[in-house]
Amino acid sequence: MKAFHTQRNAGNPPRNAGFSLIEILVSLVVLLIGLLGFASLLVHANKAEMESYQRVQALILMQDIVDRINTNRKVASCYVTPNPGGGGAYVGTGYSGTPVCSAGSAAQQARAVADLTEWNDLLQGAAEANSGGNVGAMIGARGCVAFDSASNQYTVTVVWQGLSDTTEPPAALTCGSGLYGAETKRRAVSSVLAIANLS
C-alpha cells in the first residue's frame, strides 16, 4: 500500500479571504465622519437659505411701504410710525394699536391709515397662514418710518431677528433696537425717501 503524504508549504501561509474586523470598524468610522460633515453642511445651508429668504421678504415689505407713501405723498407725514414703547416707533410684531392720520383730505387720511394697517398685518405674517397662525413674514418683523425735518427725508426700515450672530446694524437705524436680545441678531434693511414739495 502506498501512503499519501501531504506537505505543507511553510513559505506560503493560507490567504485570508475578506476583511478583518478592524478594517471594517475603521471604514465605518471614516464613513461616519464624512456623514457628520455632510449633516453639518446641510444645517449651515438651511440656515443660510432661511437668512436669505428673510432678507428677500424684508426688501419686499420695505419696497411695499415706499410705494404706498409715493402713491399718497401729499400726506406722507401720516406714514411716520407710532411709538408703542421700547424699541422706537414701529408697526409689526408687538404692535396692537391703530394708525391715525390727521393731514390732508378724508380720502387721503383713510388711504394712509389703510396702508399702515395693511403693512402692519404683512409684517405680522398675514400674507400666509399655517394651522391658524400667520407665518408669512420674517421672525419678529417690525417696520419703522421716520422723518428727518432737516433733510426733508423719510427713512423706511424693516428689521427682524436673524438666526445667528453677525455685525450689528448701523447706529442710525434704531428701529427695533433692544428687542431681539443681542444687537448682533437684529437684521435691518432701509431706504431713504425724499418727497419733493410740489405746489
Asked if pLDDT for residue 173 goes beyond 90, the answer is no
Q: Residue 98 and residue 111: Cα distance in Å, rounded?
A: 14
Q: Residue 188 and residue 62: Cα distance in Å, rounded?
A: 10
Segments making up each domain of the chain, as ranges: 21-194
Look at 17 and 60; give whichever has higher pLDDT: 60
Residues 6+ apart with CB under 8 A from 48: none
pLDDT band, very low/low/confident/very high, at 96 (cuts 50, 70, 90): confident
Q: What is the mean pLDDT of residues 3-15?
A: 58
pLDDT score recorded for residue 85: 46
Q: Residue 157 and residue 173: Cα distance in Å, rounded?
A: 7
In three state form, how does the secondary structure of the chain look? CCCCCCCCCCCCCCCCCCCCHHHHHHHHHHHHHHHHHHHHHHHHHHHHHHHHHHHHHHHHHHHHHHHHHHHCHHHHHHHCCCCCCCCCCCEECCCCCCCCCCCCCHHHHHHHHHHHHHHHHHHCCCCCEECCEECCCCCCCEEEEEEECCCCEEEEEEEEECCCCCCCCCCCCCCCCCCCCCHHHEEEEEEEEECCCCC
Look at 8 and 94; give whichever has higher pLDDT: 94
pLDDT score recorded for residue 55: 92
Task: Please state the pTM of the whole predicted model.
Answer: 0.76
How many percent of the chain have pLDDT more than 90? 36
Asked if pLDDT for residue 88 goes beyond 60, the answer is no
pLDDT per residue as tens digits for the range 28-65: 999 999 999 999 888 888 888 888 899 999 999 999 99
pLDDT score recorded for residue 65: 94
pLDDT score recorded for residue 86: 46
β-bridge pairing 142-148 and 129-130? unpaired
Amino acid at 118: E
